[in-house]
């Protein structure tokens, strides 16, 4: 009987046989997954494994490398630049994510109201997110430039700054303020639109019942809005923390890590050490310091999300 079925199948046209083969789940599933798996191996797994290999070696451009274990990771703490970078990464990420969270909630609540040209406003708010990062950061570099700073000119014209104004990109604390400002400007649309989607999904009956009980706008926000969007906030903060912690373009274009390493992040310092000075092993070790920090952040925030959902 089985031989007869095989003979009948063999007599079918090739197109029919291919179609029957693709209708099988055990064939179609791996066929669809294979391209994505190939890209993950090629673009994620292979570079990560190479970074691990370089991080435990004394790899240097133009000479053979040898295994050195964890020496690169230990020696980094003897570098003032790395210790400053480690501090910068948490200050930059914490302040930027906190500002984006507060401003994102405020903007989402505003966009959830009845406004004129609501769709046009929502589309315009997405522009900082969709514009290429390097291009938009160059515009901010021009606005913060000490010679023809639009920010300083505006502040002096309004009387809130003394001439000639601060050197935004040439002084330690001003430079960090500048890169945080640009990161918040760029990441705010992601927060606002995602939180807005959570606000839209809240049933109006809850607000109507709270208003009937005498709850004001502030009480309705704290007792209804905020608890209902907590899972959305957790996911948004998680992704934003990952993106902000590993930021490269904004710092590289605005300050290149200066002045005196005051704005270096892991990504920019790894590029400087690994590519500009040729110490590939140390550069790979710097970049891998991101991994345990992000793993801890992801674990903490996913635990929070599970508690909110379940």
pLDDT at position 207 is 82
Burial of 251 (0-12, 13-18, 19+ CB in 10 A): buried
Q: Which two tokens stand for residue 218?
A: 């502030």
Long-range contacts of 241-244 (CB under 8 A, 24+ apart): 241/93, 241/97, 241/294, 241/297, 241/301, 242/294, 242/297, 242/298, 243/187, 244/92, 244/93, 244/96, 244/97, 244/183, 244/187
β-bridge mates for residue 295, sequence order? none
Which residue, chain included where needed, has tokens 């704005």?
263
Three-state secondary structure call for residue 142 = helix
Dihedrals phi, psi of 269, to nearest 5 degrees: -70, -40
pLDDT at position 14 is 67
Residue 231 and residue 267: Cα distance in Å, rounded?
A: 29
Spatial CA neighbour of 264 closest among 82, 51, 134, 140: 82
Q: Sketch out the chain's domains with CATH numbers.
A: 2-55 (no CATH), 80-309 (1.10.3720.10)
pLDDT at position 109 is 87
Task: Give the mean pLDDT per block of 10 residues along the chain (310 residues).
Answer: 47 66 70 85 87 87 82 87 91 93 90 78 81 87 84 85 84 91 92 88 84 83 85 86 88 88 90 86 86 79 68
pLDDT at position 102 is 93
Spatial CA neighbour of 200 closest among 112, 291, 269: 112
The model's pLDDT over 55-113, given as tens digits with 9 standing for 90+, comes to: 888 888 878 778 888 888 888 888 898 999 999 999 999 999 999 999 999 998 888 88
**Residue 177's CB: how many other CB atoms inside 10 A?**
16
Residue 309 and residue 225: Cα distance in Å, rounded?
A: 16
The model's pLDDT over 114-128, given as tens digits with 9 standing for 90+, comes to: 777 777 777 788 888
What is the sign of the dihedral through the CA atoms of 303, 305, 307 and 310? negative
């Amino acid at each position: 009987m089985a031989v007869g079925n095989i003979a009948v199948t063999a007599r079918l046209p090739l197109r029919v046989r291919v179609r029957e083969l693709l209708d099988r789940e055990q064939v179609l599933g791996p066929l669809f997954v294979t391209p994505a798996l190939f890209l993950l191996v090629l673009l994620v797994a292979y570079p990560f494994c190479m970074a691990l290999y370089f991080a435990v070696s004394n790899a240097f451009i133009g000479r053979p490398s040898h295994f050195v274990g964890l020496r690169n990771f230990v020696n980094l703490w003897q570098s003032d630049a790395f210790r400053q970078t480690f501090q910068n990464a948490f200050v930059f990420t914490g302040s930027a994510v906190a500002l984006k969270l507060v401003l994102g909630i405020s903007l989402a609540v505003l966009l959830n109201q009845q406004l004129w040209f609501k769709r046009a406003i929502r589309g315009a708010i997405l522009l900082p997110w969709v514009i290429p990062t390097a291009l938009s950061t160059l515009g901010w570099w021009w606005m913060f430039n000490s010679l023809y700073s639009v920010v300083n000119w505006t502040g002096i014209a309004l009387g809130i700054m003394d001439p000639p104004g601060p050197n935004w990109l040439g002084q330690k604390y001003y430079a960090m303020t500048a890169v945080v400002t640009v990161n918040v400007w760029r990441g705010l649309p992601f927060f606002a639109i995602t939180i807005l989607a959570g606000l839209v999904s809240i049933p109006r009956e809850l607000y109507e019942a709270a208003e009937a009980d005498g709850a004001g706008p502030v009480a309705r926000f704290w007792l209804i809005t905020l608890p209902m969007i907590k899972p959305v906030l957790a996911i948004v903060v998680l992704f934003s923390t990952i993106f902000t912690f590993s930021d490269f373009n904004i710092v590289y274009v605005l300050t290149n890590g200066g002045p005196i390493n005051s704005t270096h992040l892991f990504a920019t310092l790894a590029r400087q050490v690994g590519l500009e000075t040729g110490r590939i092993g140390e550069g790979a070790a710097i970049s891998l310091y991101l991994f345990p920090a992000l793993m801890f952040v992801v674990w903490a925030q996913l635990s929070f999300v599970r508690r909110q959902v379940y």
